């Protein structure tokens, strides 16, 4: 493997790591919100809200690019 290939693989691995960390943070926030909803309500009416939150948490999102954050 030459240096260019290695650099590309390292950049790709860094991107995957950043995305995974972003997803973990987002999923923890949603899980905390779901737990809060479940603890505060004993009604079954909150179940559609919990299902909606769970579905939206499973949809992937792209973390913001730190290079672009400095521009704003």
pLDDT on residue 5: 92
Listing DSSP states for 6-64 in one string gives HHHHHHHHHHHHHHHHHHHHHHHHHHHHHHHHHHH--SGGGHHHHHHHHHHHHS--PPP
State if pTM tops 0.75. Answer: no
C-alpha pair distances (Å), 18 with each of 3, 11, 36: 22, 11, 27
pLDDT on residue 70: 66
Average pLDDT, 10 consecutive residues per value, the chain (72 residues): 89 88 86 87 85 81 70 58
pLDDT on residue 69: 66
Looking at residue 5, the DSSP 8-state letter turns out to be H
| 56: Cα separation from own chain's centroid | 10
pLDDT on residue 9: 93
């Amino acid at each position: 493997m030459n240096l260019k290939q290695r650099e590309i693989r390292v950049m790709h691995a860094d991107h995957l790591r950043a995305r995974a960390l972003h997803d973990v943070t987002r999923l923890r926030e949603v899980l905390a919100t779901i737990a809060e909803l479940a603890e505060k309500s004993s009604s079954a009416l909150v179940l559609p809200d919990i299902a909606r939150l769970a579905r939206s948490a499973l949809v992937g999102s792209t973390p913001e690019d730190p290079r672009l954050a400095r521009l704003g």
